[in-house]
Chain A
Amino acid sequence: MVAPKTGVLALQGDFAEHLSVLESLGYRSQMVRSCLDLDVVDALIIPGGESTTMLKLIDRYEMRDALVKRVQSGMPVFGTCAGAIVLADRVSDGERTLGVWELQVERNAYGRQAESFEADIPVDGLDEPVRGIFIRAPIITDAGRSTVMATWAGQAVLVRKENLLAATFHPELAGEHRIHRWFVENLCSRGE
């Protein structure tokens, strides 16, 4: 079996950090900026950044339908922060997301940048906690039937459901590789 190739949506945000985590783990990766790019990847990471900017570019470059179709047909996707918002189906301010995951999310829910923080986050299945970097982070206000893998102050911060994984923090900013490894090894080996 050929190792899966993980794409990173590279419209705006910290896509380079995700690519460098994938690279240092020895996984095949590539930037995704168009439907053509999307066609050649087996999995996708939607990075941190500004969700409004990303969603506008997704629509202007006509990637919405292709993304929704791939996610619905089982492509593994990992969204961090803005990426989690892009996947969710209900967002506090009514932003038009991809809506592919039954998740309710409130944007910038901790407040503005002054409330951004870092903290040790225990994660199910990992021996040592993850250093979670939360930047103007969203809160998952209703995780529905998703599995909660980590919480902070009583709120779900790392959740999964079938082929989808979402974090409201940024493992890619903390030199943290374990969550990316978990994503590729557990969700990407299932095949579509």
Chain B
Amino acid sequence: MAERGTARVKRGLAEMLKGGVIMDVTTAEEAGIAEEAGACAVMALERVPADIRRDGGVARMADPNKVSEIMAAVTIPVMAKARIGHVAEAQILQSLGVDFIDESEVLTPADESFHIDKWNFTVPFVCGATNLGEALRRIGEGAAMIRSKGEAGTGNVVEAVRHLRSITDEIRRLSVLPAEQLMTQAKSLGAPFDLVKEVAETGRLPVVLFCAGGVSTPADASLVLQLGAEGVFVGSGIFKSEDPARMARAVVEATTYYNDPDVLAKVSRGLGEPMRGVDLRDIPADKLLAPRGW
């Protein structure tokens, strides 16, 4: 008998995306450029995070027409974002047939206390995390993939690095702790004990870990892969750059050859202006996206 929507089937799609680049796209044309460049999946959006940040207001799930248009344009998997805690948006996206839902802090949260119960869905979810406790809470709720949050729409990789390092350092720390300390760790991380125990035993998350939020050049992609990410999400970085097709292709190659500086040097040449980017210190605390969710 065929079983659909099992944890293994959901996590399995994330496994297939590893070593790849997931690109934010807002039109069928952009989706085509991303696929042609070698993206392993696209994220269908109304606006890229840099524009969401600029425009302000409430950011919601994309119009189903937009999502369907992008699904029709490419053969690679298509993801779409639902607001944190917005079960109905997630149900709509599942009904559209998207391959993955991102319960994302980039959109305005719909619920400040609770995330979506992701076990209730056949479609897999990816969720953001700034540290190991947050990652394990999301996995406990059914997330099939984790991405470090970074600070989306800034073109600045510093927060992505901070969150990724936080997650990988805490995993390393757990893996050397004696068994009797794990319950106390679970308490201080605010994470399910069984998942803490599993991470301590295996030395890795039980799901794939990507990096997101501020990756905007081939060198950024290489950096975060060297720090332990298994792939990257690139949002505004591609289509806010001077030559998106070329930038997209360069980031894909930098992700595969992240530990080959000769290739990185080659693909980084003459890419034109990357996205402008902002210094995190210039963003008021209430405009930061990463603290959304818990």
Contacts and interface: CB of A to CB of B under 8 A. Distances in A.
B38 A114 contact: no
B8 A174 contact: yes
A87 interface: no
A102 interface: no
B153 interface: no
B16 A117 contact: no
A107 interface: yes
A10 B41 CA distance: 18
Interface string A115-139: 1111100000000000001111000
A52 interface: yes
B35 interface: yes
B39 A113 contact: no
Contacts of A111: 97
Interface in B241-257: 252-253, 255-257
A136 B4 CA distance: 11
A12 B8 contact: no
Interface stretch (A14-22, A70-78, A141-149, A181-189): A14-22
Contacts of A52: 35, 38, 75-76
Contact of B253 (A13, A60, A108): A60
Interface string B36-48: 1111110000000
Contact of A118 (B9, B16, B97): B9
Interface string B87-119: 000000010011110000000000000000000
Interface string B1-24: 111111011001101111110000
A91 to B, nearest CB: 10
A173 to B, nearest CB: 5
A17 B20 CA distance: 15
A151 to B, nearest CB: 13
A13 B99 CA distance: 16
Given A12-B18, A57-B256, A113 B1 contact: no
A10 B19 CA distance: 8
A174 B8 CA distance: 8
A89 interface: no
A82 interface: yes
B77 A136 contact: yes
Chain A, interface size: which category? 35 or more
A10 B255 CA distance: 11
Contacts of A177: none
Interface in A13-60: 13-17, 33, 48-50, 52-53, 56-57, 60
Given A114-B94, A136-B13, A108 B257 contact: no
A93 to B, nearest CB: 6
Contacts of B97: 111-112, 114
B4 A116 contact: yes
A9 to B, nearest CB: 11
B122 interface: yes
A5 B8 CA distance: 29
B124 interface: yes
Interface in A61-119: 81-82, 93, 107-108, 111-119
A133 B76 CA distance: 19
Given A117-B2, A119-B3, A14 B8 contact: no
Contact of B2 (A13, A33, A56, A119): A119
A177 to B, nearest CB: 16
A4 to B, nearest CB: 25
B124 to A, nearest CB: 7
A118 B6 contact: yes
B114 to A, nearest CB: 24
B112 to A, nearest CB: 29
A118 B20 contact: no
9 contacts: A10-B19, A11-B256, A33-B256, A33-B257, A57-B252, A112-B77, A114-B94, A136-B16, A173-B12
Given A49-B16, A82-B16, A113-B100, 15 more contacts: A12-B40, A33-B257, A48-B15, A49-B20, A50-B76, A50-B77, A53-B40, A56-B38, A57-B252, A57-B253, A111-B97, A112-B98, A113-B124, A136-B77, A173-B8
